[in-house]
Amino acid sequence: MTAGGAPAFASVVLDVDSTLCGIEGIDWLAEKRGEAVALQVAEQTDKAMRGEIPLEDVYGARLDLARPSAADISELARAYDISLAPGARDAITAWRASGIRVLLVSGGIRQAILPVAASLGIPDEDVHAVMIHLSPGGSYAGFDAASTLATATGKRDVLARLSLPRPTIAVGDGVTDLAMREHADVFCAFTGFGERTSVTGQADVTAGTFAELSRLVLAAP
């Protein structure tokens, strides 16, 4: 803790895919459509997260290939829970107990992220992600194309319109996360599931585990 016992940060903004959890949700869904689709979607995801192409150029195309059903999204929710980063649950519990506001800001599927958020004690209103549209029969019917989170700068824009307690630390692994640096006091590149030099090279700090991240957040010795 800092002088006087206060945490170093009043708000923590977490990415989900490859940060809070060890999978890329849309890539995971694409694997259900066969190897060729999985490889195509994974390549598009990686290029977008490295900043080689804008996310908005591939967001809808990836979902058109994966075409997740209601059942697929329920399975993804379970996969998120299973792949939760080691130490993440304990870290988030400690942050919330210290009065820190914890938010999830993701370009992933909101319906799949909400259950893991609830299990971590994070309220629905602090989960920002992209809604998927489903037909009455549960088949894929598109996504919320108006969501800024389907764009390269969407996370930055979400953070800009939130009135978060300061100081704020934003945490993620991709360039869409790095964009939050403009409206956060500190940006931390999370490298626990992979490292992108285009992100770590511009980050204020890095963390490879949630234990390390928690020491930053709580300013623990």
Q: Which of 15, 27, 72, 173 is catalytic?
A: 15
What is the separation of C-alpha 3 from the centre of its chain, rounded to a whole number of angstroms? Answer: 31
**Pick from 190, 203, 183: which is nearest to 91 by CA?**
190
pLDDT reported for residue 5:
67
| Each residue's pLDDT tens digit, 87-128 | 999 999 999 999 999 999 999 999 999 999 999 999 999 999
Please give the residue that has the higher pLDDT: either 220 or 170.
170
pLDDT at 6: 83
How far apart are alpha carbons 62 and 60 in whole angstroms?
Answer: 5
Confidence grade of residue 1 (pLDDT, cut at 50, 70, 90)? low
Per-residue pLDDT tens over the stretch 36-70: 999 999 999 999 999 999 999 999 999 999 999 99
Residue 221 in this model has a pLDDT that exceeds 90: no
Output the pLDDT for position 4.
52
Q: What is the CATH number of domain 3-218?
A: 3.40.50.1000
46 an active-site residue? no
The closest of 221, 219, 163 to 7, measured between CA atoms, is 219
